[in-house]
Amino acid sequence: MRKEDHLRANNGRAAQGRPRGLWLMDFDGTIKPSGGRPVSSEDGETLNRLGGDGWFRVAATGRSLFAFATAWDDGMELDGLIFSSGAAACLWGAGGPGRRLFSTVMAPKAAHRAGVGARAGGFGFFAYHAPPDSHHFHYLRPVRGKVPAGFDKRLDMFAGQSCAWPEAWFENWPPHHAVSQFLIMVPLDEIDGVEAEFERLSPGLSLIRSSSPFDDGMIWLEIFAPGVSKGSAAARLAERLGLENVRSVALGNDYNDLDLLAWADRAFVVADAAPSLLRLYPDHIAPAGGDGLKQALRALPPDFLKT
């Protein structure tokens, strides 16, 4: 399919003709508040306005395709989706997810080493299947110290999508099984050492930190194939659609947004983001639910918004 056909394949208004630019938004904690609250009506209207003004609108989320689709408001427009923290991307139209543009899984040997390394450290893990089925996973319970509260909470939340990791896989990796990522919950004061150990075990893998949503003193360490991140997915998406040279704006709130924020021409972070992000990106917007998307649009200089 030609690049221009990719754009027309989407039903969003920004897909008609060459877009003015790319607008990339993290979802949870950036425009989507916690506690099941919806995206603010002002941000929803702003998102639709961006489409009318010719921007190609992309949500960039750590959620799986399934998890994002269940949380997205059908009344809000979108043109593309980067999901599973950059492991995959697809177009998005009025009917929801469209054509998948790319997806990445870990090489079998690297996935095997990551699983063995997690077990050796006693951390346990969640190992997610290949996109678009990355809401399904195998799990291994931690055996080192106290099991993080977030581990059992996450397991309870997604019990219907999970099954236990077979012990036999530590010795003989099944050739048919593809893993898109491992998720390990690590105490905050140990994260540097654990990252270094995984870099030693499997050089070149993408290691991405994110804050635990359970307020349990843990950092989530997500392990992907080399090069996977929201920022690299944005670059890959732009190239795939022939939009490498258009203006770009990114909004984020957490460590896993750093590559995305660095890739964009203009970057905004929510005011309750991690302190390190606030120092790096002084353009702050209201926390999720406070119309931050609308604030970001208003903060852009007129010459940036011109065609």
Q: Is the pLDDT of residue 30 over 50?
A: yes
Task: Centre a 10 Å sphere on the Cβ of residue 172 and count the other Cβ atoms it contains.
Answer: 9
97, 59: one domain = yes
How much of the chain, in percent, has pLDDT values that exceed 90?
A: 82
157, 202: one domain = yes
Instruction: Tell me how far apart the terminal alpha carbons of the chain are, to the nearest angstrom.
Output: 27
183, 45: one domain = no
Q: Is the pLDDT of residue 242 over 60?
A: yes
Average pLDDT score over residue span 168-197? 94
258, 219: one domain = no
- Domain residues for 14? 3-102+229-305
Q: Is the pLDDT of residue 107 over 80?
A: yes
Average pLDDT score over residue span 260-277? 96
pLDDT recorded at residue 16: 56
pLDDT recorded at residue 9: 45
Bond before 132 cis per omega within 30 degrees: yes
Task: Centre a 10 Å sphere on the Cβ of residue 238 and count the other Cβ atoms it contains.
Answer: 21
Q: What share of the chain is helix, strand, coil (3-state, %, to 5)?
A: 35, 25, 35
**Tokens 């989530």, residue?**
220
We report the CATH number of the domain holding residue 283 as 3.40.50.1000
How far is 217 from 249, CA to CA, in rounded Å? 31
81, 65: one domain = yes
Task: Indicate the pTM of the whole model.
Answer: 0.93
